[in-house]
Amino acid sequence: MAVAGAYSRSPTFKSLIWRIVFLHIVAVAVVAIFLPLVLFWLLNSEIDQLHRDAMRAQAEVLGERIVAAPDGLLTFNLPDSLRGLYSEAYGRYLYDIRDADGRLLFSSRRKTGAAVQAPPLSETMSGAGVTRIIDGKIIRIRVAEDLAHRDVIIDDIVSNFFRRVGWITIPILLILLATDIIIFRRAVAPLWKASEEASNIGPARTDIRLPTEQIPREIMPLVTAVNQALDRLEDGFRVQRQFTADAAHQLRTPLTILRTRIETLGDGAARQALHDDIEGMSRIVVQLLEIAELDTLVLDPGETADLRAVCAEVVASIAPFAITQHKDIALKGTDAPVVIHGNAVMLQRAIFNLAENAIKFTAKDTAVDVEVGKDGSVRVRDCGPGIAEAERELIFQRFWRADRQRSDGAGLGLSIVRGVVDDHAATVAVANLPGGGAEFTLQFRLAEKVAV
Amino acid sequence: MRLLIVEDNAELSRLVAAGLSAAGYESDIVSTVAEAREAVSSVSYAAMILDLGLPDGDGLSVLRELRRQMEPLPVLVLTARGGLQDRVSGLRSGADDYLAKPFAMEELVARLEAILRRPGQLLGRSLRLANLVYDTESRQIFVDDQPRIISARETSVLEILLRRQGRVVPKKNVEDHIFGLEGEVASNAVEVYVSRLRKQLTEHGAKVVIHTIRGVGYLMAEEK
């Protein structure tokens, strides 16, 4: 298919929907991983900021408590309300206040003095500092909080984020994926409909066009172009078909003249030979016309025919020929009408061809049976040589003949049978009978009983 | 009584006229719809052989006109169109039979005679086959011009088979013809009368044969 070439870049997914679903899953997976990470990071930095602001505010509060005495000495009075918070026993907050040279002036820890090196702070300590100028001296106030302290809840929010909230992104993304598949399926539904219509287009149905309603605007140029291509094809087809029909048609009158003129000749072997030739040629012309007609036939789906009546008519019309050929022809099977979907004239042609072959290619004084089944089947049986296994498909091809030496017939009869069968969505089967002879079985679709 | 040939191909109409003449029928030839109308209105023909494709119109229009005027003139339609539609519309328009080109002269004569053998038509009164003659009005049967007696119901069978000689007469038609609307008829009644007729015809030396087409009907033909 030409279409396959256009998609060859991604051979894994021929379906547009599956390709989109696949890409969507990849996108969802990426988002599912990165979205929580980004959220986590944002939350963390937001909390850090919040924490620093709080620490800075506390440092400022502490800064206000540093008072310069008239003698230049700084005093720091921690209010009682805060004392508990900064106590080492509680262990949550720390502060230290240093001068510009980094000497420790005051600390929440007991040991004070520049010489005393502060013990390393635990890793979970986090804080902020402010600088104040008090009495002309630069003072740095730092406040920190132990985030591991049991009373700190702010980082719990972050650490619980994934467990409590983060998972929600995954179902949301999956719902989004499912919604997208549904939306996309709905969007391509008109294309499915168009494809269904397109599948009916064939040599016998060139009048069908793809529906243009509800087709997405993006696809419209393709649909329009296909329809225009079909218009051009149909024109070409019509010309071709018309030619076949006209050619066969135009031959009819001259053939009739030729035939009639030969019949006016005096009796003789030459006359008989010419007569036979004309017979054969007339048959071919008629069959070519029948084929041309079959190719253009559009069966009305509501049309029904009585298979039993059709077979009775075939047997009646071929009986005179059977008698001249010394064959015994009989109609067997059910006596009741067998109503099937089909066109009576086309059915008649197909069954006639089978019966005609059965009469033509069998020995004298043998029987040909046409049997109608209640199930919508027709069996045409003869007592001839049967049909070799290898030839059972070939016989339905146009211009195929078992014996090329014979000049009667062009090998079109059975191809017409096949054509009629195909038009009727029926089947044809060939088998050899145990007692010798061939049996052709046509199986048609029974029509629903129509209330009269 | 003459036949009318309506055909625009001069060569073909000449040959058909010659063929009919050889079979014992004289005919007039016209080649347009207008001429056909005029001929039909001025002469009483036994039957018309009508070609559909005429230079000044469709032959079917002539046929429809005849039928509208309740004119029972038997019409055999000839056409170069063999298509399904043509066939159906031809018969619907009131044609008595339909023959597609290319046809054999023999077939044309046979079809024509079948039409003419209908009751009230040219050959409808005295039916012949080989050495057998049946006069439908006096209901007399002759074999080699000698009157013969055949019982009544068998004669009815003989009549319908003779009218459609060479063609299959469905069993149902034979039954209706013998019994009319008599109602319930034994299922093998037709077989019984046909076999009695066969026997009587053989006894009388008629050179005819009644073929049984099982499941369909009967066909009467000349014995060969």
What are the Cα distances from residue A360, in Å, to A90, A318, A378, A443?
Answer: 118, 11, 19, 23
Q: Which member of B105, B106, B213 has the closest CB to residue A316?
A: B213
Confidence of residue B164 (pLDDT cuts 50, 70, 90): very high
Judging contacts by C-beta atoms under 8 Å, the chain A residues touching residue B105 are: 259-260, 263
Q: Which domains does chain A have, with CATH numbers?
A: 1-199 (no CATH), 200-298 (1.10.287), 300-443 (3.30.565.10)
- For residue A23, the one-letter residue type is L
Judged by CB atoms closer than 8 Å, whether chains meet at B221 and A323 is answered as: yes
What distance in Å separates the CA atoms of residue A129 and residue A85, rounded to the nearest whole number?
A: 17
The reply to whether the predicted model has a pTM over 0.90 is no
How many Å lie between the alpha carbon of A358 and the closest alpha carbon of chain B? 16
Res A155 pLDDT > 70: no
CB B46 within 8 A of CB B118: no
CB A369 within 8 A of CB A378: no
In which region does residue B99 sit, left (phi positive, over 0), alpha (psi from -120 to 50) or beta (all else)? Answer: beta
Residues belonging to chain B with any Cβ–Cβ distance to chain A shorter than 8 Å = 9, 11-12, 15-16, 18-19, 22, 80-84, 87-88, 100-106, 166-168, 170, 211, 213-217, 219, 221
The pLDDT assigned to A169 comes to: 75
Cα B51 from chain centroid (whole Å): 18
To which residue do tokens 């600390």 refer? A107
The pLDDT assigned to B109 comes to: 93
**Digit-coded pLDDT (tens) for A25-55:** 888 888 878 887 888 888 888 888 888 888 8
Judging contacts by C-beta atoms under 8 Å, the chain B residues touching residue A255 are: 101-102
Judged by CB atoms closer than 8 Å, whether chains meet at B84 and A346 is answered as: yes
What are the Cα distances from residue A230, in Å, to A204, A212, A217, A223?
Answer: 13, 14, 20, 10
CB A95 within 8 A of CB A143: yes
**Digit-coded pLDDT (tens) for A374-414:** 999 999 999 988 888 888 888 888 877 766 555 556 688 89
Judged by CB atoms closer than 8 Å, whether chains meet at B168 and A260 is answered as: no
The pLDDT assigned to A403 comes to: 66
More confident residue, B71 or A2: B71
CA angle A241, A242, A248 (to 5 degrees): 95
The pLDDT assigned to A4 comes to: 43
Which two tokens mark A128?
């902020």
Judged by CB atoms closer than 8 Å, whether chains meet at A252 and B167 is answered as: no
The pLDDT assigned to A64 comes to: 83
Judging contacts by C-beta atoms under 8 Å, the chain B residues touching residue A312 are: 170, 215-216
Reduce the DSSP state of residue B83 to 3 states and report it. coil
**Digit-coded pLDDT (tens) for B116-145:** 999 888 888 999 999 999 999 999 999 999
CB B96 within 8 A of CB B86: no
B168 to chain A: nearest residue by CA? A316
Judging contacts by C-beta atoms under 8 Å, the chain A residues touching residue B84 are: 293, 297, 343, 345-346
**Digit-coded pLDDT (tens) for A49-85:** 888 888 888 888 888 888 888 877 788 888 777 888 8
Res A114 pLDDT > 50: no
Q: Which domains does chain B have, with CATH numbers?
A: 2-116 (3.40.50.2300), 126-222 (1.10.10.10)
The pLDDT assigned to A25 comes to: 84
Judged by CB atoms closer than 8 Å, whether chains meet at B216 and A315 is answered as: yes
Res A352 pLDDT > 90: yes
Task: Give the start-end residues of each E strand in A135-175.
Answer: 137-146
**Digit-coded pLDDT (tens) for A92-113:** 888 888 888 888 888 877 654 4
**Interface with A, mutate which of B101, B187, B214 (most A CBs under 10 A):** B101
How many Å lie between the alpha carbon of A219 and the closest alpha carbon of chain B? 41
Which two tokens mark B161?
């088979």
The pLDDT assigned to A171 comes to: 83
